[in-house]
Chain A
């Protein structure tokens, strides 16, 4: 089981760590069947593997493992103040998985977790029940749930149907709004489902120059745009997130090109909305990534972690394509 890109490394997902208590769960069995050649290691709790000290994140990325686990309460989490302010007063996120298949230098997950392995929680039902309970407790006022916050759920779909249960859930609960944020181009994996009106597919886009430099393993911008276009054409609600906007000497120029390329393919009027978010990160996470990624210039610039107002030129540029009512500029949750 060698990994062709890095010949001495085992293939990604060569090992699957399985919590004893969910070893017989249907979703666990489904994922194990997909990886028939994987070495299976029984564990008591995912934290035994995921939270080990002194793990080498970048090495693990070259041969990531899957950890199948049962999510324990609390299932719903409030957003941190680093997140885009939601238009809904009741906004939470859930974590059906932890960790991401991509390796973006600017991602807060590198600073948040010790491990590059991917935890998949198989008890989605429990998470969904908790969402319903909260929704009931709040007198069924609209609830906004981010389902792809500490992961990229669409990218994870190839490990085992990760998004479909949420699409079904959205159909059953029209007053619960869900956002699935992604850099994946694997829309085809969910294209067979009818699009729920309360389910937003949100594609993160960066200028080509930044994507090539910082978004390792993620699909190219052209692929993401194709996937987004396909989704719009099939009636899905699509949000575009130009986030994070990384500081650069030719920022206006490269964003001018990105906006021009994007809206040459996508009709802004057909989008749910477009968000623009600066690079932001908690100080602790930033320092941990800075230490782990000395090769990444992003963490060695003089950088303001508290985002400043956007470059006017970029806002002006995007307004050429996106109506003001569909444009959401970053605002902190707090």
Chain B
């Protein structure tokens, strides 16, 4: 993305040519290692391989490298077959419902952002489907990864940060006629639209009132936790008080009380310090 925000957009693609389009568009650099990761300052890409199990595993592995507050959006991008002949090969569609064919379980990304990209539902199947197979689960699009992607991504972020965008590759009949090179090129042509939508989602999400604690706030709280040996409840109360303080006094540093605290204090004294600090933060 063009955003200079500290948050990263995480792209998840199954096939190398899908990831290639993302990598080309954002000029991502390969990260050495066993998994196919690429990144630049604002974006990160993981290429997972085919199938929902691989996709879920690599999505989870990729996202676990980040603090949840540093993830701006998680985007599954790739190709999908369509049962609907009105969709043309090369069309980009935004997915509003993902159903896992094997379990019937459905997932719903939030659709908060205005867009011109047409929407469709998608079914994730376990094996390649073609038009001669009678048991096509539901009209719409078909892929082999999105359900695994969503399930893994939803462990890390809320539905407002999960995006699934698919380009029509075939109508379950002519898959072999289009080469990966052509697909990569077609996907690349759709990337400006993808980038525009992701930017809009990031803009929407930035309007939240909820305050996510930054690493320095977490360090502050953790220092208090170890020095004052506070309970989980006290930690939660202090975290809320810190959020409130950041909101009320965005320019001010957090009160610098913890540096002078001795660890030899009695429990009663420590609790008193926590209470006083909470009140100080809430003032």
| Chain A residues in the interface with B (C-beta under 8 A) | 1-3, 6-11, 14-15, 17, 39, 41-44, 48-49, 52-56, 58-60, 62-63, 65, 287, 290-295, 300
Contacts and interface: CB of A to CB of B under 8 A. Distances in A.
Contact of B106 (A48, A62, A290): A48
20 contacts: A3-B114, A6-B204, A8-B203, A8-B204, A11-B114, A14-B111, A41-B108, A49-B108, A52-B154, A54-B159, A55-B160, A56-B158, A56-B160, A56-B205, A56-B210, A59-B204, A65-B111, A291-B210, A294-B210, A294-B243
Contacts of B244: 294, 300
Interface string B201-220: 00111011111000000000
B207 A6 contact: yes
A48 to B, nearest CB: 6
Given A8-B204, A292-B209, A293-B209, A53 B112 contact: no
Contacts of A44: 104, 106
Interface in B186-244: 200, 203-205, 207-211, 236, 240-241, 243-244
A10 B160 contact: no
Interface string B158-192: 11100000000000000000000000000000000
Interface string B97-122: 10000001010101111110001010
Contacts of A14: 111, 114
Contact of A10 (B114, B205, B211, B236): B114
B265 to A, nearest CB: 25
Contacts of B236: 287
Contacts of B207: 6, 8-9, 59, 62
Nearest to A17: B108
A322 B96 CA distance: 53
B189 to A, nearest CB: 24
A64 to B, nearest CB: 9
A287 B104 CA distance: 35
B282 interface: yes
Nearest to B241: A300
B50 interface: no
A55 B114 contact: no
